[in-house]
Chain A
Amino acid sequence: MSKIYQALVVDDERLARNDLRLFLNNHKNIEVLVKATNGQDALDMIKELEPDLVFLDIQMPGMDGFDILEQISSDVRVIFVTAFDEFALPAFEVIALDYLLKPVSADRLQQSIERLELIPNDMEDDLRELEYHDRLLLKLDTSLGFLKISTIICITSAGDYSEVLCTNKKKVLVHKSMAEWETRLPHTFFNRIHRTTIVNMEFVDRLE
């Protein structure tokens, strides 16, 4: 018998939560722990209960699905469930296990759950190591955008956030710590030259 996964269903709409719950009841390896009704609720519950899996709606009052994703441990598998299809990009796999569109079909949900077994955790850890030509899907204010790793000139710390300067001269504020950047960025290119600064050596002209 395969592992039992403890799951949290996060959606601000009760009907949507019930609908998904009904489908999940058919999956003996999924145990729905609780259902969260908003972002803050979800975040508290994820921290307290440490579920294996979170079904996460994107659009919710206050804190949305991407805000939550940024703040939880990468050990938690996340499956986005949403009617919004503009985020359905191949790169979602960088951050989420899967992406389901409402109304969810039983077959598609089955595939998502099979992925749990197919993609082991240690491979997710590999995913966390970024390659120089990767694109990172990030939340930029209320929308999502791609950040090409190769376009990062430097990163400076800004409290809980960090500020990324890109080749297009734009600065973006990202909810990532310097430590996280340091572990994830490819070390052949990126150097933490100071507690508050990481630079891409490709853009260094000279040292003084």
Chain B
Amino acid sequence: MLRYQLNPHFLFNSLNSIRALILEDQTKARDMVTELAELLRYSLVSKNNGDVPFSEEITAIQHYFAIEEKRYEENLQVSFEIDPLAEEYPIPSFLVHPLVENAVKYGMKTSGMPLKIKIQAKVKDNELSIFVRNSGTWLSDDAEGRGRPAGTGTGLKNVRERLENRFPGKYDLTTSEENGCVIIKISISRDVEG
């Protein structure tokens, strides 16, 4: 199984932001160090194949966004809408995180500013649905026929592989575009004995 690693670009950019904040807003700089430490800890503690309650994944994503919002300032707006019923749901750690990173990476390329990202989770009929929306556009593989795929698709592929391993036949992963948003949806149906 692939173990998620924190993206080195993210790490270096965070350090760069912290260095600038140290002189201008020490409280923000200190908060950012704490958030980065929490995120690093989550990435170190989480084991291969290890499930965590969905709420822990969300907490890690909140730390991630707290950092990115300080970095991008008015250019990034993030919102969460998490059904309390979703919180206990076991999922492999860092399952959703790559989708969130992609939302920032490709959203920043394709969206007007500010980039808006929304993370949603719902539970209905023992099915957990997770939505990651960003206000960008889907980068098609062959824009203008210039030969190279715009997004490599490895992020999505890895998420799919992890879902297939952990929830064979009981998951769905879809991508769509509507109302000026790119939407990635994961749904997982849970065994009744769960």
A15-B71, A140-B148 in contact; A102/B13 too (CB < 8 A)?
yes
Counting chain B residues whose Cβ lies within 8 A of the other chain, the interface size class is 20 to 34
A19-B19, A61-B109, A61-B111 in contact; A141/B148 too (CB < 8 A)?
yes
Q: Which of A18, A59, A142, A172 contacts B150 (CB 8 A)?
A: A142
Given the complex, which residues of B lie within 8 Å of A111, measured CB to CB? Answer: none
Determine the distance from Cα of A15 to Cα of B15 in the docked complex, in whole angstroms.
11
Flag if B12 contacts A12 (CB, 8 Å): no
- Is B146 an interface residue when CB atoms closer than 8 A count as contact? yes
- Which residues 1-54 of B have a CB within 8 angstroms of A? 8-9, 12-13, 15-17, 19-21, 23-24
Flag if B17 contacts A83 (CB, 8 Å): no
Flag if B144 contacts A103 (CB, 8 Å): no
Determine the distance from Cα of A13 to Cα of B13 in the docked complex, in whole angstroms.
10
Flag if B148 contacts A15 (CB, 8 Å): no
- Is B147 an interface residue when CB atoms closer than 8 A count as contact? yes
Contact with B along A7-49 (1 / 0, CB 8 A): 0000011111011001000000000000000000000000000
> Please, how many residues of chain A have a CB less than 8 angstroms from a CB on the other chain?
27
Flag if B20 contacts A140 (CB, 8 Å): no
- Is A101 an interface residue when CB atoms closer than 8 A count as contact? yes
Given the complex, which residues of B lie within 8 Å of A170, measured CB to CB? Answer: 147
Flag if B143 contacts A141 (CB, 8 Å): yes
A52: shortest Cβ distance to chain B, in Å?
25
- Is A143 an interface residue when CB atoms closer than 8 A count as contact? yes
Flag if A141 contacts B150 (CB, 8 Å): yes
Contact with A along B127-161 (1 / 0, CB 8 A): 00000000000010001111111100000000000
Flag if A13 contacts B12 (CB, 8 Å): no
Contact with B along A110-152 (1 / 0, CB 8 A): 0000000000000000000000000000001111010000000
Flag if A140 contacts B146 (CB, 8 Å): yes
Given the complex, which residues of B lie within 8 Å of A142, measured CB to CB? Answer: 109, 139, 148, 150
Contact with A along B93-116 (1 / 0, CB 8 A): 000000000000000110101010
- Is A173 an interface residue when CB atoms closer than 8 A count as contact? yes
Given the complex, which residues of A lie within 8 Å of B75, measured CB to CB? Answer: 12, 61
Question: Which chain B residue shows the least CB distance to A15?
Answer: B20
Given contacts A19-B19, A61-B113, A173-B144, 20 further A-B contacts (CB under 8 A): A12-B108, A13-B13, A15-B71, A16-B16, A16-B17, A16-B20, A18-B20, A19-B20, A61-B108, A61-B109, A61-B115, A84-B9, A102-B13, A103-B16, A103-B19, A141-B143, A141-B146, A141-B147, A141-B149, A143-B148
User: Chain B: residues with CB nearer than 8 A to chain A?
Assistant: 8-9, 12-13, 15-17, 19-21, 23-24, 70-73, 75, 108-109, 111, 113, 115, 139, 143-150
